[in-house]
Amino acid sequence: MAGSDSQPKKATPPRPAVNANRKPLQVMHISRKTEEETIKKESHEGEKPDQSIDKRLKNKVLAKKEISPLKRASEEQKILIEHPTDNDEVTSMEDLLKSEKISDLKNEENFKKNNIFEQKSRTVDEFDFDEDEFLAALEENQPVGTTGEIAKGSVIAVESDGVYVDIGGKAPGFMPKNECGLGVITNLKELFPKGLQVEVLVTREQNADGIVTISCRALELRKSWDKVQNLAKEGKVIRVKINGFNRGGVTCDFEGLRGFIPRSQLEDGENHQSLVSKTINTAFLEVNPDRRKLVLSEKKAAIASRFSELEIGQLIEGEILTIKPYGFFVDLKGVSGLLHHSMVTNGTMRSLREVFQTGESIKALITDLDPSRGRIGLNTALLEGPPGELITDKEKVMEEANERAIKARNSLSKEKIDLQNEEKVINLS
């Protein structure tokens, strides 16, 4: 058509559908490594190397040796962050954490190795330790004087209320006036001159000033109780002076200890007041240091003195007092002995009265003696020849008792030796 544009119209492209899938955006990845390498290459192109390759390698090895393991680990980590390896173009955070963990483990192992090496290389001399000096220091600082301990020292000062004694501690020990002895003390300076060596018992440990309380009286009392206990075990008889009385009995003193004798244990208990200021023989009934109890007996002293005249294997004559199912009680001039039914004869008897009667005089050997318990064991079977001779011919056995007792004593001593040997073998085993 005339007047219309001669150029043909351009075709309009079709519009994409609203819900059509779009292509993802194309993102160009730029590697930081390539940029850094190109910058370094350009900067080093104009510079000429001053050192050879061998020299640079040598310096690099020396530098690595000089850097400590901890510092080297941090440097390696820094290099890994700034210059990633050629295998991975981009270093991820996971790789960095792994490398950091590995370096920490290596550093810890190196630290332990170095520490163990240092511990092995150290010796005791480096610590300046001396065992003897250490023990001497402990003994020097250890407090002197524990309760119940016996100490020795010298008198250094005497006061009106007591005595000061040097017992080797930081401070002297103090002994009150009433603890200086058993009796009444009037003049301390005469009894305890300066420089006098004394033995004391510690009754109280040191106070805030380091002073301990000591006593001569307590030590003497302890020794007295030990002596009394030994005498009681041996069944000894002691002589005491009566110094007082009461309704129950009389009192006395022995080795600084106060003793008591009940009226029932006196030979004349009805007139016990008359015994004051008199000296009598007594034996021990009860000895108790913990309760400070000392009980004596005049009657037991008579028995104890009789026991001192007796010994095992001795032939003794006595009178039958009573007959019991288990044996005969025999009066031995102030003390009584027991003739047990098993010790009467080696034969078979139907009744004890078949052998001896009450009031009959007999001869027997002493086979057991216990002064502390007041027991005397007798035996007539050892005087027999053939078993049962006492039943068939008692008069002959009693007439020949002295000669037969010699043989019996020999057999008793042999049995005693054998018994001691058996006890030794048992103790050794």
pLDDT tens string 8-46: 555 555 555 544 455 555 545 555 555 556 666 655 554
CA–CA separation, 256 and 222 (whole Å): 10
Rounded CA Rg of the chain: 55
CA–CA separation, 43 and 127 (whole Å): 59
* Of 17 and 412, the one with more pLDDT: 412
Q: Give residue 41's pLDDT.
A: 60
Q: Give residue 172's pLDDT.
A: 85
pLDDT tens string 207-233: 877 788 999 999 999 999 999 999 988
What CATH class does 310-417 carry? mainly beta
Contact predicate 247/280, CB 8 Å: no
* Of 144 and 286, the one with more pLDDT: 286
Over residues 314-340, mean pLDDT: 89
Instruction: Give the percent of the chain with pLDDT over 90.
Output: 27
Residue 110, pLDDT above cutoff 70: no
Per CATH, the number for 151-219 is 2.40.50.140
Helix (H, G, I), strand (E, B) or coil at 168: coil
pTM: 0.49
**Which tokens go with 156?**
């250094």
Residue 126, pLDDT above cutoff 70: no
* Of 303 and 399, the one with more pLDDT: 399
User: Where does 273-346 have alpha helices with state H?
Assistant: 298-307
CATH architecture of the region 235-304: Beta Barrel (2.40)
Q: Which of the given ranges, 67-71, 99-103, 219-223, 406-410, has the highest pLDDT on average?
A: 219-223
Q: Which of the given ranges, 35-39, 212-216, 369-373, 424-428, has the highest pLDDT on average?
A: 212-216
Over residues 103-124, mean pLDDT: 58
Residue 85, pLDDT above cutoff 50: no
pLDDT tens string 328-355: 999 888 788 999 999 998 888 888 888 8
Contact predicate 266/249, CB 8 Å: yes
Q: Mean pLDDT across the chain, nearest whole number?
A: 76
Residue 327 phi/psi, 5-degree rounding, is 155, -165
Q: Could you write out the DSSP letters of every residue in 184-224? A: --S-HHHHS-TT-EEEEEEEE---TTS--EEEHHHHHHHHH
Residue 307, pLDDT above cutoff 70: yes
Instruction: Give the percent of the chain with pLDDT over 70.
Output: 62
Residue 88, pLDDT above cutoff 80: no
- CATH 2.40.50.140 domain extents, the chain: 151-219, 235-304, 310-417
Q: Which of the given ranges, 55-59, 91-95, 119-123, 320-324, has the highest pLDDT on average?
A: 320-324
CA–CA separation, 180 and 183 (whole Å): 9
Which three-class secondary structure string do you get for 196-207? CEEEEEEEECCC
Residue 175 pLDDT class (50, 70, 90 cuts): very high
**Closest CA relative to residue 315, chosen from 293, 348, 337:** 337
